[in-house]
């Protein structure tokens, strides 16, 4: 009895094991390869599948998602015989699980070796400066070569990026010095340009200020000249009006020749007034005036001689201060 029980238990365990091996569930993003009697039989896509135990063998699942592999630094010699270290990152995806299983032993290692060889070929035709400034070109060439080669392995290379380029230490020091000198040169140029613009703006401002000052002075001189002209015109008009009034008053009062001669003699001393007068010329009319005045006083009666000075004295302040020059005109 115990033996039969043991056999029954063993049979149940065997049946359960076979059932477990018969049913296979493939998760999303994975694929399975089924070999029947050592030969490729089918590709198991995501979902539930039934396989025959012992006869069918399911190989390790293959990841169908896009994979990112960062490869270590590769030493590459440039065209100008400089050794640089280049780190690359490859983005690829398995598109054919059968080819990825049977066409290549280890496709990740194969991609690594192919990337290193292609990188040496591409960078070997470039100098250091081109290598540092032509990353997009290198990435495009690497991707084209890798994609065309790995297609038969059931892979699709979507992108290749150069993560880092490490020049030699001596070259790095030279590049830093060159960059520092270039920055200093640009700073000096910018400073000179700023000083130049400042000088130009200062000169333009001074020129504009000088022009404005000249314009202001010009306008001020014009206004002063106009004011002087108007003042001269007004003075001339006033003097003309005064002369006319004096002339009219003289004609209205009808002065005698003796009065005019007397006023003329009173005006003569004023010609010598002033500190600048060093020499005084006596007019030739002075003798005629004195002679006429003497004759006038010699022919007048005593009563007229007594009244003669009073009458001009009363009229002289009235007319002489207004236009002294009028007697000179008449004389």
Q: Give the relative orientation of helices 310-319 and 169-253 as an angle to the nearest 10 degrees.
A: 150
Among 229, 255, 276, give the residue marking a domain's end. 229
Structure tokens at 330: 């008449």
Q: State whether 69 and 55 are in the same domain.
A: no
- Among 83-87, 93-97, 284-288, the range scoring the smallest mean pLDDT is 284-288
Q: Is residue 27 part of a domain?
A: yes
Among 212, 229, 246, give the residue marking a domain's end. 229
Q: State whether 30 and 98 are in the same domain.
A: no
- Specify the pLDDT at position 284: 62
Do the strands 56-58 and 30-36 form a parallel or antiparallel pair, or are they unpaired?
antiparallel
- Specify the pLDDT at position 307: 45
**Predicted confidence (pLDDT) at residue 182 exceeds the cutoff of 50:** yes
Q: Is residue 270 part of a domain?
A: no
Q: State whether 148 and 187 are in the same domain.
A: no
Average pLDDT over the chain, rounded to an integer:
79
Domain count, the chain: 3
46 vs 108: CA distance, rounded Å: 23
Q: State whether 112 and 28 are in the same domain.
A: no
Report whether 166 contacts 117 (CB < 8 A).
Answer: no
Q: Is residue 38 part of a domain?
A: yes
- Specify the pLDDT at position 128: 84
Q: State whether 75 and 137 are in the same domain.
A: yes
Determine the structural domain holding residue 135 and report its residue range. 64-166
Q: Is residue 145 part of a domain?
A: yes
Q: Name beta bridge partners: 32.
A: 44
125's CB contacts (< 8 A; 6+ apart) are 79
- Among 63-72, 184-193, 230-239, 289-298, the range scoring the smallest mean pLDDT is 289-298
Q: Is residue 276 part of a domain?
A: no
- Specify the pLDDT at position 264: 65
Q: State whether 186 and 205 are in the same domain.
A: yes
- Specify the pLDDT at position 93: 92
The C-alpha angle with vertex 160 and arms to 155 and 164, in degrees rounded to 5, equals 145
Q: Is residue 193 part of a domain?
A: yes
Report whether 121 contacts 113 (CB < 8 A).
Answer: no
- Specify the pLDDT at position 311: 41
* 3-class DSSP state of 225: helix
Q: State whether 134 and 96 are in the same domain.
A: yes
* C-alpha dihedral (24, 25, 30, 34), degrees to nearest 10: 20
**Burial per residue of 264-292, b for 16 or more beta-carbon CB atoms within 10 angstroms, e otherwise:** beeeeeeeeeeeeeeeeeeeeeeeebeeb
Kindly list the distances between the CA atom of residue 75 and the CA atoms of 63, 114, 115, 208, in Å, as whole numbers in the listed order. 31, 14, 12, 66
Mean pLDDT calculated for residue range 249-265: 69
Q: Is residue 93 part of a domain?
A: yes
The torsion angles phi and psi of 329, rounded to 5 degrees, stand at -65, -45
Q: State whether 81 and 38 are in the same domain.
A: no
* 3-class DSSP state of 77: strand
- Give the percent of the chain with pLDDT over 90: 15
**Predicted confidence (pLDDT) at residue 164 exceeds the cutoff of 60:** yes
**H-state helical runs in the chain:** 2-22, 97-102, 107-123, 128-133, 135-150, 169-253, 257-267, 285-299, 302-307, 310-319, 325-330
Q: Is residue 250 part of a domain?
A: no
Among 210, 229, 248, give the residue marking a domain's end. 229
- Among 43-52, 95-104, 275-284, the range scoring the smallest mean pLDDT is 275-284
Q: State whether 79 and 106 are in the same domain.
A: yes
**Predicted confidence (pLDDT) at residue 316 exceeds the cutoff of 70:** no
Structure tokens at 60: 């390790």
Kindly list the distances between the CA atom of residue 286 and the CA atoms of 269, 292, 294, 295, 325, in Å, as whole numbers in the listed order. 12, 10, 12, 14, 16
**Predicted confidence (pLDDT) at residue 290 exceeds the cutoff of 70:** no
- Specify the pLDDT at position 96: 92
Residue 213: Cβ within 10 Å count: 10
Assessment of whether the complete model's pTM goes beyond 0.75: no
Report the candidate in 328, 233, 90, 300 with the shortest Cα–Cα distance to residue 309: 300
């Amino acid at each position: 009895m115990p033996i039969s029980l043991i056999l029954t238990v063993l049979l149940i365990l065997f049946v359960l094991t076979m059932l477990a091996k018969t049913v296979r569930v493939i998760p999303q993003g994975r694929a399975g390869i089924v070999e029947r009697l050592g030969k490729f039989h089918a590709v198991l896509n995501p979902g539930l599948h039934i396989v025959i135990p012992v006869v069918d063998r399911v190989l390790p699942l293959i990841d169908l998602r896009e994979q990112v592999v960062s490869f270590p630094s590769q030493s590459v010699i440039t065209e100008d015989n400089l050794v640089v270290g280049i780190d690359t990152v490859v983005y690829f995806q398995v598109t054919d699980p059968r080819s990825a299983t049977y066409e290549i032993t280890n496709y990740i290692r194969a991609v690594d070796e192919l990337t290193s060889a292609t990188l040496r070929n591409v960078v070997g035709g470039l100098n250091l400066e081109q290598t540092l400034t032509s990353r997009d070109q290198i990435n495009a060439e690497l991707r084209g070569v890798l994609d065309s080669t790995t297609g038969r392995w059931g892979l699709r290379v979507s992108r290749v990026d150069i993560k880092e380029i490490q020049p030699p230490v001596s070259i790095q020091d030279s590049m830093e010095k060159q960059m520092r000198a270039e920055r200093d040169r640009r700073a000096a140029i910018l400073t000179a340009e700023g000083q130049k613009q400042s000088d130009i703006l200062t000169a333009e401002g001074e020129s504009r200020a000088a022009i404005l000052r000249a314009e202001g002075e010009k306008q001020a001189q014009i206004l002063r000249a106009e004011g002087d002209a108007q003042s001269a015109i007004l003075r001339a008009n006033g003097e003309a009006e005064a002369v006319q009034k004096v002339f009219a008053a003289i004609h209205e009062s009808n002065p005698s020749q003796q009065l005019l001669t007397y006023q003329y003699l009173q005006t003569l001393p004023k010609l010598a007034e002033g500190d600048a007068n060093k020499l005084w010329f006596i007019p030739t009319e002075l003798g005629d005036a004195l002679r006429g005045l003497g004759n006038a006083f010699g022919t007048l009666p005593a009563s007229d001689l007594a009244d003669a000075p009073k009458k001009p004295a009363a009229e002289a302040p009235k007319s002489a201060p207004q236009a002294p020059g009028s007697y000179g005109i008449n004389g």
